[in-house]
């Protein structure tokens, strides 16, 4: 979905930070765990 | 809005079966056979509007496809529309492209939301859009073809393909075709387009991003209050997006229920207020984590979750034939608003 949207908006190579579904319904500690695992990817994507 | 590009032509074997196989292979159908959109058929369809083929009606997400008049006409042919349905479909496409409808969310969400087209005015009667018995069901070409044509447009132009641009967890049969007319003759109050500021002689479409109909059977009460208590009980259910995030729910009264309610002196505004005051769910019957999410949206409501912020956020229409049934259409919560558009050429 993210790639479809970025391509449709003229940014086919936009760097994406992806995490596995789901986020909704997870207990807060698991959400924090997923967020921590994403930090490095987000930093790489925007720097 | 700037003009869009013209559609591409494809050469194919001159056989109905082969064409349908091609369309299935390319993912251009909803799973049912289509009418081949030949140049001649599309040209006949386009003669039903004065709009130019390259005119863009809106940009449809998530693919950001330009919904030109010609592309809409192609999907109308595929869906089995008669040419005179095209102005209704054009108005419906313009409505879903309105930012207030939030087609981005409606197309992509896991929620089973579908665009419901409600047609009012002379066009509904002239085109024989069913507003009576089984109006949400099968058997009427205009309802089926107009609803299907919008779905095909959302798929083929907007990219709402299951598992890709359409992430509905389970989806809904309403996503095949979802189009009715209001039963204005059986409506004891103002019809929807008049409530929206148009004249009775004008034809409109009003689009709701909603779930399929949830039936409300009420054979026992013989008073307006009794019927409305059951309706409020049905609408104040756990699990709807309206309980989660309010928005603009739709109540479709069957003509017999509407007549009983009106005969007891209720105006349409009275109906909305009655339902708004009682269609509520006790938050303490839900899990603590769900409740924690609901309390901030329902401050000062005595621990009850509301389906919308204000009585006027509920829309009430009348549709169906004889019988003691009504229905409500939970919507996509506050993520979408109903949008009304005039059907060009009908009382404009």
ipTM for the whole complex: 0.76
Q: Which residues of B touch A4 (CB under 8 A)?
A: 62-63, 159, 164-165
The alpha-carbon radius of gyration of chain A (Å, integer) is: 13
Three-state DSSP class for B210?
Answer: strand
> How far is the C-alpha of B120 from the C-alpha of B344, rounded, in Å?
13
Distance from CA of B62 to the nearest CA of A (A): 6
Angle at B103 between CA B98 and CA B108, to 5 degrees: 170
* Gap from A12 CA to chain B (nearest CA, Å): 12
* B183 contacts B131 by C-beta, under 8 angstroms: yes
- For B337, other C-beta atoms within 10 Å of its C-beta total 18
Chain B residue with the nearest C-alpha to that of A4 = B63
Closest CA to B48 of B25, B18, B27, B70: B70
Reply yes or no on whether the pLDDT at B5 is more than 90: no
Taking residues B198-226, report their average pLDDT: 98
Q: CA of A15 to nearest chain B CA: how many angstroms apart?
A: 18
Identify the closest residue of chain A to B60 by CA–CA distance. Answer: A8
Q: Span B164-170, mean pLDDT? A: 96
Question: Chain A: residue nearest B64 by CA?
Answer: A8
Distance CA A17, CA B208 (A): 33
pTM flag (> 0.90)? yes
Preceding amide of A22 cis, omega within 30 = yes
CA B203/CA B194 separation, integer angstroms: 10
Residue B347 has pLDDT above 50, yes or no: no
Cα–Cα distance for residue pair B348/B334, rounded to 1 Å = 31
Q: Which pLDDT tens digit goes with each residue over B228-244?
A: 999 999 999 999 999 99
**pLDDT-above-90 percentage for chain B:** 93
Q: pLDDT band at B10, cuts 50/70/90? A: confident
Picking from A2, A7, A8 by the largest number of B CB atoms within 10 A of its own CB, the best residue to mutate is: A8
CB contact under 8 A, B64 and A9: yes
Looking at the complex, report in whole angstroms how far the Cα of residue A1 sits from the nearest Cα belonging to chain B.
Answer: 6
Closest to B67 (Cα-Cα) out of B85, B92, B34: B92
**Centroid of chain to Cα B82:** 20
In the predicted model, residues of chain A with pLDDT beneath 50 are none
Q: How buried is residue B207: exposed, middle or buried, by Cβ count under 10 Å (0-12/13-18/19+)?
A: buried
A23 contact B CB<8A = no
Residue whose pair of structure tokens reads 């393909």 in the numeric block: B161
Q: Is A12 on the interface with B (CB under 8 A)?
A: no
Q: What residues contact residue B286 under an 8 Å CB cut-off, 6+ apart?
A: B238, B294, B305
- pLDDT at B176 exceeding the cut of 80: yes
B346 vs B117, higher pLDDT: B117
DSSP 3-state of B229: helix
Q: What angle do CA B13, B29, B171 make, to 5 degrees?
A: 165
Question: Which residue out of B64, B160, B244 would a mutagenesis test of the A interface target, given it has the greatest number of A Cβ atoms within 10 Å?
Answer: B64
Per-residue model confidence (pLDDT) at position B74: 98
Query: Do B204 and B120 meet the contact criterion of CB atoms below 8 Å apart?
Result: yes
The per-type count for chain A, helices as H runs and strands as E runs, is: 2, 0
B contacts of A1 (beta carbons < 8 Å): 62, 108, 164-165, 167
Neighbouring CB atoms inside 10 A of B141's CB total: 15
Q: What distance in Å separates the CA atoms of residue B111 and residue B172, rounded to the nearest whole number?
A: 9
Are B159 and A1 a contacting pair at CB < 8 A?
Answer: no
Q: Measured between alpha carbons, how far is B39 from B47 in angstroms, rounded to an integer?
A: 12
Subunit contact A4:B62, Cβ cutoff 8 A: yes
Q: Judge if the upstream peptide bond of residue B62 is cis by omega within 30 degrees of 0.
A: yes
Tokens linked to B145: 């073809």
Q: Do A8 and B167 touch (CB under 8 A)?
A: no
Residues of A in contact with B64 (CB under 8 A): 8-9
Q: Tell whether A22 is within 8 A of chain B (Cβ).
A: no
* Distance (Å) from the alpha carbon of A35 to chain B's nearest alpha carbon: 20
The C-alpha angle with vertex B271 and arms to B190 and B266, in degrees rounded to 5, equals 75
Q: What is the pLDDT of residue B348?
A: 45
Asked if the Cβ–Cβ distance from A4 to B63 is below 8 Å, we say yes
Q: Are B340 and B317 in contact (CB under 8 A)?
A: no
CA separation (Å) from A29 to A26, B6, B194?
Answer: 8, 52, 52
- Please answer yes or no on whether B61 and A8 come within 8 Å at the CB atom: yes
Question: For residue B54, with 0-12 CB atoms within 10 Å meaning exposed, 13-18 middle and 19 or more buried, which class applies?
Answer: middle
A1 touches chain B (CB under 8 A): yes
Give per-residue pLDDT as tens, B66-116. Answer: 999 999 999 999 999 999 999 999 999 999 999 999 999 999 999 999 999
Question: Which chain A residues are Cβ-neighbours of B165 within 8 angstroms?
Answer: 1, 4
pLDDT, tens only, B114-138:
999 999 999 999 999 999 999 999 9
Q: Look at residues B130, B131, B101 and name the one whose alpha carbon lies nearest to residue B114.
A: B101
Q: Can you state the angle between helices B141-156 and B86-97, rounded to 10 degrees?
A: 40
**In terms of residues, how long is chain A?**
47
A4–B contact, CB cutoff 8 A = yes
């Amino acid at each position: 979905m993210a790639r479809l949207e970025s391509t449709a908006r003229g940014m086919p190579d936009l760097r994406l930070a992806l995490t596995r579904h789901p986020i909704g319904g997870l207990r807060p500690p698991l959400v924090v765990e997923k967020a921590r695992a994403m930090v490095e990817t987000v930093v790489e994507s925007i720097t | 809005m700037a003009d869009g590009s013209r559609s591409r032509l494809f050469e194919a074997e001159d056989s109905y079966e082969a064409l349908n196989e091609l369309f299935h292979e390319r993912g251009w159908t909803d799973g049912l056979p289509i009418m081949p959109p030949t140049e001649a058929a599309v040209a006949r369809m386009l003669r039903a509007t004065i709009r130019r083929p390259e005119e863009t009606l809106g940009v449809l997400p998530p693919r950001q496809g330009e919904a030109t008049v010609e592309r809409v006409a192609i999907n109308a042919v595929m869906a089995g529309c008669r040419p005179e349905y095209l102005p209704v479909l054009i108005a419906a496409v313009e409505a879903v492209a309105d930012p207030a409808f939030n087609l981005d969310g409606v197309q992509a969400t896991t929620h089973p939301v579908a665009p419901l087209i409600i047609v009012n005015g002379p066009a509904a009667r002239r085109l024989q859009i069913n507003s009576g018995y089984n109006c949400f069901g099968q058997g009427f070409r205009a309802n089926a073809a107009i609803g299907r044509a919008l779905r095909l447009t959302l798929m083929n132009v907007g990219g709402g393909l299951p598992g890709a641009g359409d992430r509905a967890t389970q989806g809904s049969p309403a996503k095949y075709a979802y189009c009715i007319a209001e039963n204005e003759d059986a409506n004891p109050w103002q019809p929807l387009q008049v409530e929206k500021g148009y004249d009775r002689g004008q034809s409109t479409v009003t689009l709701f991003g909603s779930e399929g109909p949830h039936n409300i059977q009420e054979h026992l009460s013989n008073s307006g209050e009794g019927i409305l208590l059951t309706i409020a009980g049905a609408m104040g259910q756990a699990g709807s997006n309206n309980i989660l995030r309010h928005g603009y729910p739709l109540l479709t009264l069957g003509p017999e229920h509407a007549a009983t309610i009106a005969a007891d002196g209720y105006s349409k505004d009275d109906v909305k207020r009655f339902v708004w005051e009682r269609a509520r769910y006790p938050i303490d019957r839900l899990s603590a984590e769900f409740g924690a999410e609901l309390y901030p949206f329902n401050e000062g409501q005595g621990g009850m979750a509301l389906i919308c912020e204000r009585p006027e956020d509920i829309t009430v229409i009348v549709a169906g034939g004889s019988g003691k049934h009504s229905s409500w259409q939970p919507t996509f919560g506050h993520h979408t608003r109903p949008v009304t558009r005039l059907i060009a050429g009908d009382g404009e």
